[in-house]
Every structure is written in structure tokens, then in C-alpha cells.
Structure 1
Amino acid sequence: MSLRFSLMGPVRAWRDDEEIDLGPRQQRAVLAALLLNNGIRLSNDQLIGMVWDDPTPSAVMALRTYMYKIRKTLPELNLKSKDGGYTLRAELVDDCRGEPLEGLQGTYFEAHRVRLAEHRLKAREEWLERELDTLELQKHVAAHPLRERPRALLMHALFQEGRQAEALDHFHQARALLNEELGLEPGPELRRVHAQILKGDLTVPRRPEQLPSSLPDFTGRSAEIAQALRTLPNTVGITGMSGSGKTALATHIAHLAKYDYPDGQIFVRGRDVANELLRAVGVENPNGDKAALWREKARGRRFLIVVDDVQDPSQLQDLHTPGSAMILTSVRRWNGLPGVTWLTIAGLTEPEAREFFRKVLDPARIDAESDTAEVVLERVSRMPNPIRVLGGKLSGRPHWTVAMLLAQMEREERLGTSIPSDCRAVLAPMIKAEKELTDPEKHLLQCFARRDADVIDVCEAAEMAGIEAGAIEYVLESLADVHLIEPLVLGRYRLPRFVRLYFGWRIPALTS
């Protein structure tokens, strides 16, 4: 059963294909405020300030009443008060019915009405740029005569059809209208298109759309998403252990932000970043200073760039251009890169991990063994990639229980001689991480995994690894840099459960 909401018109909701009655206007306003802050906790005072411009003391009781009715109408949302506030997570769709937030009044909703309308307009213009449909462009320009970008696209489309005179006429129409309405001359894009038509050398710039699809079952990370969206267009870096979902998070953020970058989205995974950026905009086999050539090509344009799995930070030097944005992912946090806001991610929170597990496996099977499911999730430190693999494994074994899966994991851990073939996918993040470790780093993790305690200090680490204290701190910090141990206070570190599971498992094989 799916629950969907729309704010693009009246506030509406559907359970599967059946529309739900959301109650009176003020109740829908409370729901709309929660939906506009999807995944973000709102206090009672914040909600009251959003829904009522000039709240009276009775607003507190009114809010409680509306929240009660919303919970009763939409029990799937599990919308319970926690620490004096509420968090809603829901799927939003654009049903294109009319003015956003139709019927809702107040300063807060008016500001969001303008934002949502602009968001929809940009999405429409992105589609028009991809299709270059002359008739649809003409309709759009007629409806929004002062918007210069769609008029430039219409001039492109007309020129391609051999209608140069009509294309030039649109420039003169725009010039007259801008002068009359705003006292302005056409902007640089319209002037450039006009000059290129006069020279007969107008070509449509390549608009890359390279983002991988966002995962339909993406779950959680609301705080990180909100911080990233606030940070862009300044560079955002996402760092965390292998398997923590860095690429999925970067892709999800990019899809949320892409409408602010009309010149396209570029996805790079490789060492020669400048070369890949140039290829994305149509420059093959560039010579000379590729970073300088990229800056020249990107000047005046707005790209959204995702660089996945950064291995060498020097590849990113001198690539930033004003107006464009960059999202980086890396196991290591490259502190030497200027102007990067780093987000560190690890496992999901307990509610997020449980929600994600319910998305990749029949929820009824999890609910029947909820305590056992929590143990399974904890054993892999609630890391998204292992959770997905475990859910897939159980989905392929409909007669297995979660307890059977846990028993197999415990048996394989006790055997400890090798990694069973059907567990390689679960342990793939750790297998990948192990390949990058030095012998002293592996040895220290083996020693740490033997202990019952989750936390050690520098002196304990030196004693159990047989390495002098000055050298052991370097090893510990190196492991912390790749998130295999977690730094707490100065000189103390914690071993995540998933890392303990793997290196405890690997001790016989690594020491044989």
C-alpha cells in the first residue's frame, strides 16, 4: 500500500489510487507545513508560526487537535510527538493541477508558493531544453514573455528548422518588451544567440544528463540532505566507510538540487576528472591545460557535478567555476581541499535502518521477528549496502525466517576459516577496505576484534599490537581516516560492530 501527497495545487493525498479527505483548510495547512519540511523535525512553536501569521493562545490546542485528526486519517505516517515536535517522511508527487498550495493563506505559504511555482517552471524549461519542441516553446514563451532562457531556446529551435527570420524577430520582440516593461536590454544569452544566428553558426550546446537514477527505496539522511542543500552551490563532500551509502546519498541530493543547474548534470568516477568534464560538454581528446579549458567552457554556465570516490584530490584543483556546484564522495576526508563542507556518514539510525529493511523485504516478515531483525541490523552496524543484500537474500528464500539468517551469520562467524560465497556481497565493503590496509593496520584491527571491549586507548592499542606508543597513534589515526574505527576523545577509539564482525571472522585466515 502506497501513500502519496501533492502540494502542486490543493493539498492532496492518495492511498494507492484512492484520494483521501484531508479535512478543513487549517488542518491541511498543518499537514502542508510538515510536508514542506519533509524529514525535518519541527517543534510545536515552529509549526504554529508557519500556519498562523498572528497566533493566539488557542493555536496550541488547535494544533494538537489537527495533529490528532491527521494521525487518525493517515496512521501510516506514524506521526507521534517526540521531544515536543514532529517529523514527517512522505512521498511527494507533482500532479500539475494548478497554483501550488492552493487555498492556503499566510506569509509562510505564500513564500513557498512562489518557490514551488519557480521549481515547476524550471522543471518545465528543462524538459523544453531537452526536447526543443517549437510548438511547446512558443506556448511557453507566450505564457512567460519576460523569461529569456525559453525565448533563447525557441530561437535555437526556429533556427534549426531553417526559420532564421522568425528567430531574429523573437529577439526584437524580446528587446522591445524588456525595454518597455523593465527598462532593460536583453541578457547575454539572448544577445549571444542573436549574434550566432546573424553569423549562421548557431549550434545547440550539449546538455549532459549523467546522473544515475535515484534509488526508489532511498531512506533517511534527512539532516545531511538538508545541510547539503543549504551548502550548495558551494562544494559538498560526503565521507564515510565503504558501504555507508555515500554514492546513493550524493545522487539523491543531486536529483533534489538539479533544477537549479539548467546547463546539466555531470557524473564522474575516475582519476582524470578534468578530462571527463570536458568530454561531457563535447570536447574530445583535449590538449594543454585541461583545467583551464574546462573553466573556459563552463564560464557563464551552471552545471551540477558529482565526483564519486575521489582518490586523488589534486585532480580537483582549479576546476571550480562560479555558478556551478560540486558534490564529492570519498572514503577519506581530504582536508586540504579548500571550500569543501564535509558530511560524515556511518550506519543509519535505528528507525531508518528498520524502515529501509522493511522496504527491501516484506514488512510482515520483519514485524513477525522485530527483535531478531534489530540484532541482524546491529551486526552490520546498520550500513545500507549490507542491509540491502541481507534483505535480498531473505527475499530469495521465502521459507527462511530472520532467525535462520541470524543463525547462519553466527555459525559462519564461529567457523571463521573463510568467507562463504553467499556472504561476500554482505561483506563486500569490508573486503574492499581490507585491500587498502597496511599489514600493521590489519594486525591492529585483528587485535582489537579479539577484545570484548568496544573502546581502546592509545596505550592499550600499543600493548596488544606490540607497537611502541608513538607509532601506534599514527596507525590508529590512519584507520580513523577511513572510518574503520571511530575517534572519540583524544587518544580513545571505538570499533564499529560490522568491522569487529569482519576482522574477528578473518583472524584465522589472515594469520594462517
Structure 2
Amino acid sequence: MSLRFSLMGPVRAWRDDDEIDLGPRRQRAVLAALLLNNGVRLSNEQLAGMVWDVPAPGAVTALRTYMYKIRKVLPELDLRSRDGGYTVRGAELVDDCCGEPLEGLQGAYFEAHRVRLAEQRLRVREEWLERELDVLELQKHVAAHPLRERPRALLMSALYRDGRQAEALDHFHRARALLNEELGLEPGPELREVHARILRGDLDLPRRPEQLPPDVADFTGRAQEIARALAVLPGTVGIAGMHGSGKTALAVRIGHLVKDRFPDGQVFVRGNDVAHELLRAVGVENPVGDKAALWRQKARGKRILVIVDDLRDPASIRDLHVPGPAMIITSVRRWNELPGVTWSTIAGLAPAEAGALFRGIVPVGPDDEEAVAHVLARVSHLPVPVRVLGGKLAARPRWTASMLLRQMHRESVLGEAIPSDCKAVLAPMIKADARLTEDERHLLACFARKGADVIDLCEAVELSGGEIGTVEVLLESLADVHLIEPLELGRYRIPRYVQLFYGLRTLAPTS
């Protein structure tokens, strides 16, 4: 249940989507004074001075009555008297664009805040106009506020960007005439600078990157991880997990959910030179020198969302943090040495979610439900192989899930060369295997031959023939990349998907 307030018009409040009756004008004035001082303790005397310019003798008594009524309609605010005063903490204020700020409230205190809030609203609007550079919206804003020079400079820039240089220059001359006539002033430095740069032809407009890949239409599950990321942003979010777990899809889904929070752009980077790619995204084509420092200079204060996909070297992002932008990192490894990152580790989907994803790709009859459950368990409910298997079955309309399961079983038992469609199912494991050492591969092959779901350090030493210290290091290295799951000290679970892959590798003939 959410509670939010607006002071940008009449004082209003909503609980979820239902508006709350806040009572008479003076009671709303008391609430407004508390909200304007969010987090600050106000004594009875201070509150009375805000609500009444010259408090009458009974003002404090009336104030207590209003506070009692506010507590009744807004119990979530916890407005109990403490140390002779009241405090509102963490109230969510929204701008419902409903009229003059603090509409209907009288007195010097509210008049001063009315002017401040109106100016704040204009600044927020002009920040949006600067990002959008929409000619029509700028023309409306300039018409409503003809003496504000900032939006006039933005309008000239927008006209120039649209190839309307003559109109931009004409707008400058009309603005100059108006300022002279109304205020007896010449245009300020910003207007003059934009005018001069248009004449020189070197007006360089900021680039707003919009690089988010398309969202996955049938994205399934991960509700807990999404909720955690939404709460952390604009902090730094890390998503770790084995290949095939859907880290990139999750990062992109989060990016689309929060893109409105980052109106200065969204950047998607994959590669080792992260700073170089970030600078290119904001218009620096051939960055030289200290790229991290240049990025911090360019991005400071900008609300940009950065997704760094498949991070392999934490040093490549360590010096990029700057106030303003937010970052989502995906990586097989969890880089604990990076400060300030809130990590989530993902593996397979819940069985019901994996089933829903599979059935969204190919219809499944009631007689095939058990076979589907076995098929999905063999790939540890990981979304990438689940999606490939669903597509494979959809491409064979005469097949059933039971037939698909029999084929998977036959391939794993006979040890034939892995067919191309099976390679697609196992592609995440093929990618993971390419990054392993021979000793790590040997250990996983030993586990696959044994066929156990859980194994301990002593069994691993016996199966591999290695030294206990060496095997312990190998086990932890495999756990770091999620090819085995640590249960407790010296004991690990081997995912079915990993067993499937290394079982095939063990049985497949070598050429």
C-alpha cells in the first residue's frame, strides 16, 4: 500500500489509487507545513506560526485538534508528539500538475513556498525540455513564460537541430526586441552564445543515447530480483549467474522498467573497454587520455542508465562511478571487490515458471505434463535452454514432449556426436566450458561419470585422483562460475544441466 501527496495545486493525498479527504483548509495547511519540512521536527509554536501569521491564543489548542484528525485519516504518518513537536519522514511528494502550488492556503509562509515551488516546477519542466528539444513543446513554454531566457535558448537550439537556422536567428531578434521593450535589457550570455554559435555553424547539441535492447515479450519470473533492483537503483545493481540463466534478459527488463527515471539516456555496453564505449555513446568519438576521468566529467549529474553486460574485468568499471548515472552489471562471476554493488545471483527458474515459459512457446497436452517436467529438469530450468527446447518442439508439430525426452535420453546414453539442435540447447555450457582449465573440465567429467547430484571434497579427491588442497581450490573455482553449487563447507550440488553436458562430452567419441 502506497501513500503519496501533492502540494502542486490543492493539498492532496492518495492511498494507492484512492484520494483521501484531508478535511478543511486549515487542517490541510497544517499537513502542508509538515510536508514542506519533511524530516524536520517542528514544535507546536513553529507549526502555529506557519499556519497562522499571527497565532491567536487558542492556536496551539486548535493545532492539536487538527493533528488528531490528520492522524485519524493518515495513520501511516505516525504523527505522535515527541519532544513537544511533530515530524513527517519519507513522505512521497508528486507533482500532479493540477494548478498553482499550495492552492487555497493563505499567509506569508505559504506564499514564500508558493513562489519557490512554482520556480522548482519551471526548472523541472525546462530540464525535460532540454532533454527532449521538442520544438512544439518549447514554443508553448516560451509563449507561457516569454521573459525566461533559458527556454528561448533551447528553442533556438531545437530549431537549429531541425535545420531551421533562419527561424532560430529570427527568434533571437524577436526575443531581443521583447527584452528591450519590457525590461530595457539586452539578451543574457546564454542567448547570445547560442546565437553566435548558430552564426558560426558550430552549435554542438548533446547526444542522448537510447541503446537498450528490446525487452523480451515473454519474460518470465525473477519477481524478487526485479523488486530488489528497483529498490536499489539509482545505486549499482549486479546480476551474477551461470551462462543460460537469463542475466542479460533480466538486466534489460529492469532497464525498460526504470528508463523513465533516466531521461538523459540509456547505454548498453559489452566489451573490455567500457569507458571507451560509454564516451562514444555520449558523442566522444575518439576519446584519448584518461577515459574514466573524461566519462566522469561528461556524465556528472546526468541521469543515465548504464548496463554493462558480461563484465569480465572489474578494473574496467572501477573508476567510472560518478553522481547521477546508475549502473546494472551482469557477470558470470560475482565481483565482490567492487564497492557499493548490490548483487543478486540467479540460477534456474522455479519449476512452475520454467513450465509457463515452455508452454508459452509450444502447447502441451495434459498427457505430456510429466514429460515436460523431466525435460525442463534436465536443463536445470534455465531459461535459455528451456526456450531452445520449446522452439525445437514447436518446429516438430508431430512430436510430443515424451518424444523429445526420449531423444535427449538416447543422446546421453549412446554417446553419439552431439547433433546441431542439441548444441543449441547446450550452447551456454559450451560457452562456459571454453573458459575452464583442463583440471576443471576433468573434475566435472568425473562428477558426470559418477552421476551423483551431491558430492563432497573427499569424494572429489577420490574420483579425480588429485591432491586435497588442489581439488578444494578447483571446487571453489567451479562454484564461483556457478557450475557447482556450494551447500556447506566441502559439499556441493552438481546441476542436472552440467551433468548432462559433461555426460555427453564423456561419452562422445573423439576424432
Q: TM-score, normalised by structure 1?
A: 0.68
SS in 2 for 1:211: coil
Q: Distance in 1 between matches of 2:322 and 2:293?
A: 10
Partner of 1:405: 404
Deviations 1:114-144 (CA, angstroms, capped at 9, x unpaired): 48989xxxxx999977874422443467789
Q: Could you tell me how far apart the structure 1 residues matched to 2:248 and 2:347 are?
A: 13
User: Hey, what's the Cα distance between the residues in 2 that align with 1:467 and 1:426?
Assistant: 32
**Distance (Å, rounded) in 1 between the aligned partners of 2:260 and 2:150:** 14
- Cα RMSD (Å): 3.9
Aligned to 1:473: 472
1:166 maps to which residue? Answer: 171
Aligned residue for 2:257? 256
Q: Which residue does 1:313 correspond to in 2?
A: 314
Q: What does residue 85 of structure 2 align with?
A: none
* Matched letter for residue 505 of structure 2: R
Distance 1:136 1:498, change over 3 A: same
Give how far 1:318 is off. Answer: 0.9
Counterpart of 1:425 in structure 2 is 424
| Greater Cα shift, 472-481 or 496-505 | 496-505
Q: Aligned partners of 1:272 and 1:392: how far apart in 2?
A: 35
- Say which SS state the counterpart of residue 348 (structure 1) adopts: coil
- Aligned residue-pair number: 396
Q: Which runs of 5+ in 1 are unaligned?
A: 1-32, 35-48, 55-104, 119-123, 175-190
**One-letter identity of the residue aligned with 1:491:** G
- The separation in 1 between residues aligned to 2:126 and 2:375, in whole angstroms, is 47
User: Who is 1:490 aligned against?
Assistant: 489
> Do the aligned residues in 2 keep the contact of 1:271 with 1:311 (CA within 8 Å)?
yes
Q: Percent identity?
A: 61
Conserved? CA contact 1:193–1:202, under 8 Å: no
Q: Aligned to 1:488, what secondary structure does the other structure show?
A: strand
- Could you tell me which amino acid in structure 1 is paired with residue 223 of structure 2? S
Secondary structure of the residue aligned to 1:473 is helix
1:258-311: CA deviation from partner (whole Å, max 9, x where unpaired): 111111111111111111111111212222111111111112322111111111
Distance in 1, Cα, partners of 2:443 & 2:177 = 73
What is the identity, as a one-letter code, of the residue corresponding to 1:390?
L
1:274 aligns with 2:279: no
Question: Counterparts in 2 of 1:39-188, with a 5 A limit?
Answer: 114=94, 132-139=133-140, 153-160=154-161, 161-162=164-165, 163-164=168-169, 166=171
Q: State the AA in 2 paired with 1:197.
A: V
SS of the residue corresponding to residue 488 of structure 2 reads coil
8 Å CA contact retained: 1:313, 1:334: yes
Secondary structure at the aligned position of 2:426 is classed as helix
Q: What's 1:229 paired with?
A: 230
SS in 1 for 2:310: coil
Tell me the distance in 2 between the aligned counterparts of 1:145 and 1:451: 80
Query: Residue 154 of structure 1 aligns to which amino acid in structure 2?
Result: L
Matched residue, 2:103: none
Q: Residue by residue, what CA displacement relative to the aligned partner does 1:198-218 show, whole Å, maximum 9, x if unpaired? A: 542543211111111111111
Contact 1:156 1:167 (8 Å CA) reproduced = no
TM (norm. structure 2) is 0.69
| 1:301/1:324 contact within 8 Å kept | yes
Instruction: Report if the CA contact (8 A) 2:415-2:509 is conserved.
Output: no
1:284 is the counterpart of 2:285: yes
Distance (whole Å) between structure 2 residues aligned to residue 478 and residue 144 of structure 1: 63
Q: Any conservation in 2 of the 1:462–1:472 contact (CA below 8 Å)?
A: yes
Amino acid at match of 2:352: P
Contact 1:126 / 1:262 at 8 angstroms: preserved in 2?
no
Would you say 1:359 and 2:360 are equivalent positions? yes
Deviation at 1:509, TM superposition (A): 3.7
For the residues of structure 2 that align with 1:193 and 1:505, how far apart are their CA atoms? 68
- Give 1:483 deviation, angstroms: 0.3
Q: Which residue of 2 aligns with 1:42?
A: none
* Structure 1 Cα separation of the partners of residues 227 and 243 of structure 2: 22
C-alpha distance in 2, partners of 1:382/1:193?
58
